[in-house]
């Protein structure tokens, strides 16, 4: 019983640190990939989900807008949009391609990757999709925490990968709810990095 009481007290303490101190903000700053916006052969927007109704999720939309913005800044001549089919048959990559087209990206500059379900599969599928274009240098768009792993996986697949973080995670968030959300992002990403390292994906 004492062990349970101690665990309960530790859990409460951890929750208090996560919600009421800047520790999660510091963790995000420590673990995030800094932007490396340089000229590249392609911009790769990693998938993040599409809702059953056909709308992109918030993070998917943020990533796409960032990718389109980088394209219009002339950082690369090709925009790769990734995202598989969801449970009702909507393909995220196609929704993104249509939106990118509506935002002024020419159809000939858009490449869709529709079958990849994980970051590691995205790197593999993007490599296959860009083979004919001989693209070596890619700007990878995702959230800043994910990009350490994302860039690593793309480097492992043979690319020179540059981080292009979209505005999904803010290390200045300071309400308890926002800090708990940051904690969730950090813990999730740390576990994913452990798994990817163990699996030899990067």
Residues at the contact surface with another protein, assessed by CB under 8 A = 1, 3-12, 117-118, 175, 184, 188, 192, 195
113: enclosing H helix or E strand: strand 110-113
Instruction: Give the residue with the Cβ less far from another protein, 1 or 107.
Output: 1
Angle between helices 176-199 and 119-130 (to 10 degrees): 70
Instruction: Give the residue with the Cβ less far from another protein, 12 or 37.
Output: 12
Classify residue 17 as left (phi > 0), alpha (psi -120 to 50) or beta.
alpha
Is the separation of the CB atoms in 59 and 53 below 8 Å?
no
Instruction: Give the residue with the Cβ less far from another protein, 150 or 159.
Output: 150
Minimum Å gap between C-beta 30 and another protein is 21
Query: Minimal CA–CA distance to 100: which of 39, 152, 45?
Result: 45
Minimum Å gap between C-beta 130 and another protein is 24
Instruction: Give the residue with the Cβ less far from another protein, 136 or 184.
Output: 184
Q: In Å, what is the CA distance from 154 to each residue of 1, 47, 160, 170, 202?
A: 48, 14, 7, 24, 8
Minimum Å gap between C-beta 124 and another protein is 14
Minimum Å gap between C-beta 7 and another protein is 4
């Amino acid at each position: 019983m004492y062990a349970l009481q101690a665990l309960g007290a530790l859990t409460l303490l951890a929750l208090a640190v996560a919600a009421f101190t800047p520790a999660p903000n510091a963790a995000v700053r420590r673990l995030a990939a800094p932007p490396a916006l340089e000229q590249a052969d392609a911009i790769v927007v990693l998938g993040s989900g599409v809702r059953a109704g056909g709308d992109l999720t918030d993070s998917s939309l943020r990533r796409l807008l960032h990718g389109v913005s980088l394209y219009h800044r002339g950082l690369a001549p090709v925009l790769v949009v990734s995202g598989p089919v969801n449970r009702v048959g909507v393909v995220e990559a196609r929704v993104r391609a249509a939106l990118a087209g509506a935002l002024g990206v020419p159809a000939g500059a858009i490449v869709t990757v529709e079958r990849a379900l994980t970051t590691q599969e995205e790197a593999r599928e993007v490599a296959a999709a860009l083979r004919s274009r001989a693209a070596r240098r890619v700007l990878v768009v995702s959230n800043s925490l994910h990009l350490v792993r994302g860039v690593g996986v793309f480097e492992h697949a043979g690319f020179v990968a540059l981080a292009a973080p979209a505005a999904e995670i803010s290390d200045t968030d300071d309400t308890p709810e926002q800090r708990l959300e940051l904690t969730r992002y950090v813990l999730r990403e740390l576990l994913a990095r452990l798994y990817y390292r163990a699996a030899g994906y990067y």
